[in-house]
Amino acid sequence: MAEQLAEQIAADDHHILSEFEDPERKALIARFVESDPTRLSEVPLRNYLALWFSDIQVLRGLVSPHNTNEAFERLGVFKATVKSMNIYDVAGTWAGKTQANKTGDKSHISSVYSSSSAATPASPPLATVRSNVLSTHGTTGSSTPRVPIFRPRGSVSPAGTLPQREADPRFKSLERDNKQCVLTKRGQPTIQTAHIVPNKLNQTTNRHLTKQDCWAWLDAFWGKDRVDQWKAQLLTGDVIGTERVSNLITLEMQTHEYWDRASIAFRPVWVNATNTEMHIAFHWLPFVKDGPLAIHIKQTELVPTQEHIFSDPYYKPRMGPGMNNMLFHTETLKPIVSGYVFKMSTTNAKERPLPSMELLQLKWNLSRIAAMQGAAEDEDSDYESDGGSVAVPAGPRTPVRGRRMSDENRPPFRSSIQSLSPSKLQNLSLEDDNTSSYLVE
């Protein structure tokens, strides 16, 4: 059955660097650089990638005749963005290993952002270019998010309400995905609920993201309409809320690790009109620091704007990025290669919606940037396990002993009862096995 399904869905006709081969995109970027070659012939690596992966409608708008003040302003903001290096690493934080800073207490926003009256006109703060309202950088307080850990006691829910676990978004996504990894089809006990927009951003305030120029950076490359869509799907009031079914997807542990490390990426391909079936393409991402590129892989490295610096075949891994990193489909026993397209479906688009196409598209772009942008100037490029996750109190662990487990990596099906002492266990009502854990019967 799995082989038949794989044959029915054609391989993805895109790869992770397809934009570099698009003739229209090449021409648009060339015209953009020609508008100010002194400033734009070289740009920082991070923004170089964002430029090439940007929404093509944004590029079309930049090179079209500018006969309004708004158009001139947007062009000026874009030029400032593509030359600047904000200390807030959007791609690394939203799709990679960078730790989320929710407190807003970093005052060193980098030299190009140090003052709105700085001597370098090419790199003013993005928010200052847009509006003086956002020119003051302050602090915002937010508490460390904790994902609810349910301790079922076999009790009956109040009349007219669902049992607590069945109302939990993680449980709903697990049910939607048939309690198995959507990519490899591996089942419990080694599956996890993964977040598209990571859980480390949960409860981050909109005000903080605005002051860090996060939204301004995304707006510059992907446009206001898309940013408004992302905000609508992520913000509850003034804070990011990652615990929603449309932001969750079930993956086996190794696949989840790869996704969190920006070693793989998922490209949303298609969704039907009723939002009950979708196709997603899997792609490996390269280990850039081990590649043949003859530059220092740093986010601030200036690179030629119009050159395809990742043209070497090394940067389009098919079977895996190297070092024996591979994934296998557990039903076909075949390696999962770049371009493999898998299907997801739901029987109830309202109660158990599919993953958001818009958020998957955001993560697809940011995962590629996070993988290839290199390290920040003040950090080593080696990955520290769980470096961008929230530590949780001692409790059930993964099979890898001694590692810190984050809320992001906590299996959704594991009952926290295992961490209770024998005396506390005696006080629990465990007669009803149907509500004792998330384990498959």
CA distance 413 to 407: 13
Query: pLDDT means per 10 residues in the chain (441 residues)?
Result: 54 97 98 94 96 97 79 87 88 87 45 30 43 36 41 38 74 97 96 96 95 95 97 96 97 97 97 97 93 79 95 94 95 96 97 98 97 68 36 32 43 39 42 34 28
85 and 112 in contact (C-beta within 8 Å)?
Answer: yes
The reported pLDDT for the residue numbered 27 is 98
The reported pLDDT for the residue numbered 71 is 79
- Return the closest-CA partner of residue 54 out of 73, 83, 82: 82
The reported pLDDT for the residue numbered 73 is 83
CA distance 162 to 439: 18
Q: Hunting for tokens 């590649």 — which residue is that?
A: 291
CA distance 118 to 44: 19
- Return the closest-CA partner of residue 361 out of 223, 213, 212, 185: 223
The reported pLDDT for the residue numbered 116 is 29
For 344, phi and psi rounded to 5 degrees? -125, 150
What is the helix (H) or strand (E) element at residue 63, kind and residue range?
helix 56-63
The reported pLDDT for the residue numbered 117 is 30
The DSSP output letter for 203 is T
- Return the closest-CA partner of residue 234 out of 274, 204, 211: 204
The reported pLDDT for the residue numbered 317 is 95
Burial class (CB in 10 A: 0-12, 13-18, 19+), 382: exposed
The reported pLDDT for the residue numbered 163 is 58
The reported pLDDT for the residue numbered 93 is 94
pTM: 0.75
CA distance 61 to 146: 42
Q: Where are the beta strands (DSSP E) in 264-386?
A: 264-271, 277-284, 302-304, 341-345
